[in-house]
Every structure is written in C-alpha cells, then in structure tokens.
Amino acid sequence: MTGSQRRTGCFHSARELGNPLDFLVEDNTRERGICDLLDQIAQSAVPKAADVTTVITYLKEELPLHLQDENEDLVPLMRLRCKAEDQIDDVITRLQSNHGHAMVDLPAIVLLLGKATPMSERTRRMIRNFASHARSHISVENAILLPIARVRLKANDLDKMRRHMLERRGLHRVIG
C-alpha cells in the first residue's frame, strides 16, 4: 500500500476536499492530535511502540504534504489576494519560519523516535519542544491565516488549490 493509498483513508468523501481550506483545518486538527501523542511519548522513557509508529508515519508521510499545501498553494495565493490592510506579510513570514524550523527539526525527531528506548530526558525535551512549536504554528494558521483566506481567496483559487492537493496525494484520478 502506498502513502497515497493510505492517505485516501483520511478523506471521508470527495466533498471533504471540496473546500481545501476546510481540509487544511482538518489536517491541523490531525496534527494537533499528533502533538498530543508526542507529549504522551515524551512522558515516558519507554513509549508505546504503536504510538511511536503512528507519529513517525505521520511525520514522514502526511506532514510534508500539509506543508507543501501551505507553501506551494496557500501562501502564494494569500500574497496575491490579500490587501495591505490584512497585514498578511508578517503572518506569512512567521509561518514560513515555522515551516523552515519544522523541516530542519523533522529528520532529527524521526530519528530520535526510531531509536531504541529508553529515551533520554534531552530527547524527551526535544520532542516536547517540537510539539509545542507545532501547536503554536497551528494556532496562528487557524486563528489568523485561514479566516483571512476564507474572505480573500476566490472560487478559482480554491479549485486550483484543491486540484494540487489531490495531485500531491495521487488522488486526482480517483476523486478529481
């Protein structure tokens, strides 16, 4: 089973990706759940193997797609459509900085999670920090960026974004 096939299970129906902004909110909810799982993992020197596997799979397969959705579609469209009064540049700069940190930290977190236990306190602290940083990013995105996107993006912007999101997941022929 490929990552794309597994990802299909995250769609309850073709309509779920009808509005890509709703899908981003759903992805953020999933990421917040992964952050909670990371916190649970960090509480124990010997975490549950199933929890570690779930997190590693998410970090390697789903999070990069979510970040691509934002970096390659949402951010450019926001820069195109937002007005000066939206003051979106500061928000985007902050989010892109967060993305950069996430992509730099991601391989180390995956590596640390994949190592044999027990985990050191340093490793557990790094995992907690990664989760905390991700939660901060999600909050900014959900509270500021996505509400402005709902006002500023046009129907054809959302259609384009939806197509790209489906293509990234190898679902454009299945759901299209």
Q: What is the pTM of this model?
A: 0.84
CA triplet 135, 137, 141: central angle to 5 degrees? 115
**Between residues 174 and 91, the one the model is more confident about:** 91
Average pLDDT over residues 55-72: 94
Look-up of token digits 């500021």: 144
Looking at this protein, which amino acid is placed at residue 175? I
Mean pLDDT of the chain: 87
pLDDT, tens digit (0-9, with 9 covering 90-100), for 141-156: 999 999 999 999 999 9
Split into its structural domains, the chain has a count of 1
Roughly what angle, to the nearest 10 degrees, separates helices 49-57 and 20-43?
150
Cis-peptide into 118, omega within 30 deg:
yes
Would the pLDDT of 75 be above 80? Answer: yes
Assess if residue 157 is contained within a domain: yes
Assess if residue 13 is contained within a domain: no
Would the pLDDT of 29 be above 90? Answer: yes
Would the pLDDT of 176 be above 80? Answer: no
Q: Which of 28, 40, 34 is nearest to 144 (CA)?
A: 28
Assess if residue 138 is contained within a domain: yes
Q: How far apart are CA 37 and CA 57, in angstroms?
A: 13
Would the pLDDT of 14 be above 60? Answer: no
Q: Could you give the 3-state DSSP secondary structure of residue 109?
A: helix
Would the pLDDT of 11 be above 80? Answer: no
Q: How far apart are CA 3 and CA 140, in angstroms?
A: 28
Assess if residue 59 is contained within a domain: yes
Average pLDDT over residues 90-94: 89
pLDDT tier for residue 6 given thresholds of 50, 70 and 90: very low
Tell me how far apart the terminal alpha carbons of the chain are, to the nearest angstrom: 20
CATH code, 128: 1.20.120.520
Its domain, for residue 56, covers 20-169
pLDDT tier for residue 104 given thresholds of 50, 70 and 90: confident
Ramachandran quadrant class, 170 (left: phi over 0; alpha: psi -120 to 50; beta: rest):
left
